[in-house]
Amino acid sequence: MKKITVIVLALLIVIFVSMMSFALSRACSCSQNPPIDNSIPTVNQPLPNPTTPVNMNDSDVTGVSPSSKVTMVDYSRIMVNQLILKDGKYQVKGITDLPPGTRLIVILKANSDPSLVLKKSIEVQNGAFIAFFSPSSPHFNGSQQFQVDVICDPQKQPCGSGSRIDRFGKNLVGEKVVIDGKIRMLKFSQLITLVS
């Protein structure tokens, strides 16, 4: 009788440990960031007329989740304010209202030759971002005007910032929102002149 009791308890412990292990492996581990993916998402379908008002301040709260009591904020601002060449590197500087740690894809194209493209995956820090590019072609250095694209793809976010913008981008609003399937992304595009 004692052997049967010990065996049953051992089986119950093994089942419990297996269930806990499975649950933990399915949970989001915010201490481990997935590797940065430098693939460029295709975003060609602009959102015609946003129904949600554009909020330009982080303090504008648009809703509170009743079950979790987490304040949800809509994010809409992303722009490049400077492109400079310093120490042989191009620096794209911009501002955003996206949360710290949000990953952005920055794409730099020489206007003189659209086949000359550089891209970088970077993270937002304190409402700003900066991407450094080392030109791989001498023809890149001859251009004075560049096409700059900055994309926020909610599917490529770490857990912390990704949960704030929603994995489908439902908290991304405004005229810079584009739709790719079920995913809402922010995309900024601008022709910008190099500042030496």
Spell out the domain ranges in the chain. Answer: 45-193
Tokens in use for 143?
């251009």
For the segment 99-105, the average pLDDT, to the nearest whole number, is 92
Q: Among candidates 104, 119, 93, 79, which has minimal Cα distance to 161? A: 104
Do residues 190 and 148 make contact, with C-beta atoms less than 8 angstroms apart? yes
Say which residue, 118 or 32, is predicted with more confidence.
118
Do residues 99 and 165 make contact, with C-beta atoms less than 8 angstroms apart? yes
pTM: 0.62
Alpha carbons 161 and 47: distance in angstroms, whole number: 23
Alpha carbons 44 and 65: distance in angstroms, whole number: 31
Alpha carbons 130 and 123: distance in angstroms, whole number: 8
Residue-wise pLDDT for 152-163, tens only, equals 999 888 876 667
CATH number of the 45-193 domain:
2.60.40
pLDDT classification of 116: cutoffs 50, 70, 90 = confident
Do residues 174 and 136 make contact, with C-beta atoms less than 8 angstroms apart? no
pLDDT classification of 44: cutoffs 50, 70, 90 = very low
pLDDT at 131 over 80: yes
pLDDT at 98 over 70: yes
Task: List Cβ neighbours of 176 (8 Å cut-off, separation of 6 or more).
Answer: 76, 78, 186, 187, 188
pLDDT at 49 over 60: no
pLDDT at 133 over 80: yes
